[in-house]
Amino acid sequence: MRRLAIFFALGAVASGCSTTAEQPTEHVASKGAAIIDGSESPATQDAVVLVVIRNHGSCTGTLVAPNLVLTARHCVTQTDEGAQCKVDGTSADGGTLYSNFVASDLLVYKGQLASVMMDDPTKASAKGKQIITETTTTYCDHDVAFILLDRVVNAPVAAIRTKEGAREGEMITAVGWGLTEKGSLPSKRMEREGVQVQAIGPYVFDEATKIGLGKSEFLVGEAFCSGDSGGPAVASTGAVVGVVSRGGNGSTSTGADSCIGPDTIGIYTHLANKQTLVSKAFAASGYALRDEGTPPGKAAGEACVENVDCSSNTCVSKVCRTPCTDDSVCETDEACTAKSGLMICLPAAKPAPATPSGDDPANGAAPPSSTTTTTTTSNCSASPIGGTSAASPFALLALVAAAGLRRRRPA
């Protein structure tokens, strides 16, 4: 009975929200959704990051290597707003991929309060260096991508499931930065536990049109909303099982109304059939994949016993460290330093205090005359950086009407 309910709910969405000439279209970054009826995501999920696309909104992603983010393909590429996808992974309507965004326009913010910083590019932890995707013309069954970053990010790294997809009946946790059930964007990253996998691809919703789930897709009910695109489905093992692709409930609302209710569906893309893409991404990162069963990697500065405990795969003197070749990959208060036969980022040496001079009061010299005037100046600057900033999530929400099974678009 539940499987029949899924069929009709999806059929209603597919037939009731197709793209028409009257509906406005826009190539935006994501089709993702926010977490509905969720709670605050704990610091243990700090591998989940906010991805801001300059002038196009934001998505959710997951740090799977210190310099590599897993997200949705539609978050890094201009695409149609909606799609009706066939079970063979081709498009029945929409879902076309156009040109990729400029990699350096993708900014990554870490931490539970990342959304508070998203309008300030200077507070981004890293930016994109390369976009790594499959070669395809539609995001149907291919809505997954990697962003190679210009530097390492000091945050935990998630393990990912690559040997199989989600299992029917499995419970996952949805995590992201999208709209809540109240229709507003949260100030903190959110999660929803206990989301059941209801169907796995290949799975046909309608025999006449062959619309359904592709072999790399699985379906859940109410869970996410706009702004959660690219966000992870986290298994009970802590591994990422898939990324948010698209969903809806038949409503043409651009707010949370399209993400709420028993007829709401959500579709994730998994990596079990993406071995070539995964291998290419991790080869570019220079780090090894942390497959399911491996604990999430710890951030630099955390205690460790062996290399595998660390995101960086570098444990020195029982502390996780970031390997380096120069200071460019280190934090601002660190320097690339030789230790234990390795080059790693360590706290920079503090400059030695100035040697007291004969005029220094500490050496017995007379204090300055009371007629001396000291002028203090402020070093603040209000000038814009680059002339542009990431688009406001609130402004973008009203721009796009629903179309087909809407990708979960950026906030």
Please check whether residues 29 and 64 belong to one and the same domain: yes
When divided into structural domains, the chain yields a total of 2
> How much is the pLDDT for 403?
30
Please check whether residues 149 and 267 belong to one and the same domain: yes
- Contact status, residue 77 vs residue 101, Cβ threshold 8 Å: yes
Which domain range does residue 108 map to? 2-287+393-407
CA angle 51, 43, 110 (to 5 degrees): 25
d(CA 202, CA 204): 7
Which has the closest alpha carbon to 350: 333, 364, 363, 366? 333
Please check whether residues 47 and 195 belong to one and the same domain: yes
Specify the CATH number for the domain of residue 186.
2.40.10.120
d(CA 176, CA 192): 9
> How much is the pLDDT for 91?
93
Residue 6 makes CB contacts below 8 A (sequence gap 6+) with 198, 199, 219, 265
Distances (CA, A) of 213 to 220, 273, 361: 12, 14, 78
Please check whether residues 132 and 223 belong to one and the same domain: yes
- Contact status, residue 65 vs residue 121, Cβ threshold 8 Å: no
Please check whether residues 168 and 60 belong to one and the same domain: yes
Q: What is the mean pLDDT of each run of 10 residues along the chain (411 residues)?
A: 29 26 27 60 91 91 96 94 90 94 96 89 96 95 97 93 95 87 77 94 94 96 87 95 90 75 91 96 94 87 90 90 86 89 88 58 45 35 27 25 45 52
Task: Please provide the size of the chain in residues.
Answer: 411
Please check whether residues 158 and 248 belong to one and the same domain: yes
Query: Which amino acid appears at position 358 of this protein?
Result: G
Please check whether residues 145 and 217 belong to one and the same domain: yes
Please check whether residues 181 and 221 belong to one and the same domain: yes
Residue 388 lies in a domain: no
> How much is the pLDDT for 340?
87
> How much is the pLDDT for 1?
23
Coarse DSSP helix, strand, coil percentages of the chain, rounded to the nearest 5 percent:
15, 30, 55
Residue 111 lies in a domain: yes
Please check whether residues 185 and 273 belong to one and the same domain: yes
